[in-house]
């Protein structure tokens, strides 16, 4: 008797998207509506991901203990459109808003890797419906241990979180943030802490795009009109900002004394060959060896208090209050 075998089927492009959307908690009905397939088809797919029907295999994740996953990203948002009574009006009421903001595009890349991710609303049926773009960004942020951006803490993260919660998306896995603008403000007295100025002065080989073809606000207004040439310029502008931010971060990182300790993400015992002794650092009750990285110039201190037990016991503390 011939044994009956189950024929394996390859995953289609929409299958991959449906699986990712399912992972972030989206219902089958909403997935089907977004991808243009029936709810039954989505349920059928999700119920047969055991290897017996579809050729499905979970992607091999990179070992999280070989270093943190650092995501560099930048978003571009649509303006709030409203009715004004004067060019000098300070603000408008909620009932004067005609169209609220949404995320028009985003670019992102993993630190040290070549691939750049870019998504925009150019081909969206309803431009203000940024749900597909948000899902893609959510997946990247959920994988990140650390995110890096220019003014990311005050702008990008808060804007993205607002769109996530308004779209019923859960909070991504917790990540730490590094803001190149805040590093600049804390450690330097530049004439300007804007990305354009710092790239010009510190990384002239990566100047910030000025989108001269559509100067100023014109680029955003033309994109909202559906101008394909303007969208091409927006893509270049968005990606250039991410690449420039990575280069700037490499330049500034060694000066940031609050930078997360990337070494804790490495499981193996550290190779100290690239660290050289560089004097000592002192706290109120301790003396520690200072180290400088031979390649990057970053500085770290040892964790062993070099003062003797007797010396530590003889130190007096300041009054508090």
In 3D, which of 21, 265, 2 has the Cα closest to residue 137? 21
- Rounded to whole angstroms, the Cα distance separating 7 from 191 reads 67
CA 195-264-286 angle, to 5 degrees, is 95
pLDDT over 50 at 80, yes or no: yes
- Give the number of other Cβ atoms within 10 Å of residue 281's Cβ: 15
Q: 82 has which bridge partners?
A: 97
Q: Which pLDDT score is estimated for 113? A: 93
**Contact, 45 vs 15, CB < 8 A?**
yes
pTM (2 decimals)? 0.78
Average pLDDT value for residue range 270-282: 90
Average pLDDT value for residue range 92-108: 96
- Rounded to whole angstroms, the Cα distance separating 25 from 149 reads 27
77 — phi, psi (to 5°)? -110, 155
pLDDT over 70 at 53, yes or no: no
Q: Which pLDDT score is estimated for 41? A: 84
What DSSP assignment string belongs to 82-121? Answer: E--S-TT-----GGGEEE---EEEEEEEETT---EEEEES
**58 band by pLDDT with thresholds 50, 70 and 90:** very low
Among residues of the chain, what percentage have pLDDT more than 70?
90
The residues of the chain that CATH labels 3.30.420.10 are 70-81+96-255
pLDDT over 90 at 54, yes or no: no
273 — phi, psi (to 5°)? -60, -30
pLDDT over 60 at 275, yes or no: yes
Buried b (16+ CB within 10 A) or exposed e, 97-119: eeeebbbbbbbbbbbeeeeebbb
| Ramachandran quadrant class, 77 (left: phi over 0; alpha: psi -120 to 50; beta: rest) | beta
Helix (H, G, I), strand (E, B) or coil at 243: helix
Average pLDDT value for residue range 24-45: 80
**Contact, 233 vs 214, CB < 8 A?**
yes
The residues of the chain that CATH labels 1.10.10 are 7-60
CATH number at 70-81+96-255 = 3.30.420.10
Of the ranges 11-25, 185-199, 290-304, the best mean pLDDT one: 185-199
Average pLDDT value for residue range 59-82: 79
- Rounded to whole angstroms, the Cα distance separating 269 from 82 reads 58
Q: 70 has which bridge partners?
A: 146
- Rounded to whole angstroms, the Cα distance separating 205 from 11 reads 43
Q: Which pLDDT score is estimated for 198? A: 98
**Contact, 74 vs 137, CB < 8 A?**
no
Q: Which pLDDT score is estimated for 7? A: 44
The mean of the pLDDT values for the chain is 88
In words, the CATH class of domain 7-60 is mainly alpha
What does the pLDDT look like over 136-178, one tens digit per residue?
Answer: 999 999 999 999 999 999 999 999 999 999 999 999 999 999 9
């Amino acid at each position: 008797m011939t044994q009956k075998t189950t024929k394996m089927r390859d995953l289609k492009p929409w299958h991959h998207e449906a699986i990712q959307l399912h992972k972030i908690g989206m219902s089958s009905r909403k997935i089907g509506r977004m991808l243009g397939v029936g709810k039954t088809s989505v349920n059928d797919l999700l119920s047969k991901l055991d290897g017996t029907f579809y050729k499905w295999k979970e992607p091999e994740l990179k070992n999280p203990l070989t270093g943190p996953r650092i995501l560099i990203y930048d978003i571009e948002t649509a303006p709030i459109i409203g009715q004004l009574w004067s060019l000098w009006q300070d603000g408008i009421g909620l009932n004067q808003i005609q169209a609220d903001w949404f995320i028009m595009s985003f670019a992102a890349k993993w630190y040290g890797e070549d691939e750049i991710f870019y998504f925009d609303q150019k081909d969206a049926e309803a431009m203000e419906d940024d749900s597909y773009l948000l899902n893609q960004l959510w997946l990247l942020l959920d994988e990140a241990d650390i995110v890096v951006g220019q003014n990311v803490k005050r702008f990008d993260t808060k804007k993205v979180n607002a769109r996530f919660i308004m779209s019923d998306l859960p909070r991504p896995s917790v990540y730490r943030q590094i803001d190149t603008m805040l590093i600049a403000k804390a450690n330097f007295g530049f004439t300007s802490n804007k990305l354009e100025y710092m790239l010009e002065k510190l990384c002239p080989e990566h100047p910030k795009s000025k989108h001269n073809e559509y100067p100023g606000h014109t680029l955003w207004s033309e994109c909202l009109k559906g101008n394909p040439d303007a969208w091409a310029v927006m893509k270049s502008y968005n990606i250039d900002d991410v690449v420039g931010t990575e280069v700037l971060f490499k330049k500034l990182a060694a000066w940031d004394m609050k930078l997360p300790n990337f070494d804790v993400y490495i499981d193996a015992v550290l190779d100290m060959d690239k660290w050289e002794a560089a004097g000592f650092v002192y706290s109120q009750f301790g003396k520690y060896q200072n180290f400088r990285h031979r390649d990057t110039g970053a500085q770290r201190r040892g964790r062993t208090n070099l003062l003797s037990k007797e010396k530590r016991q003889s130190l007096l503390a300041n009054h508090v209050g």
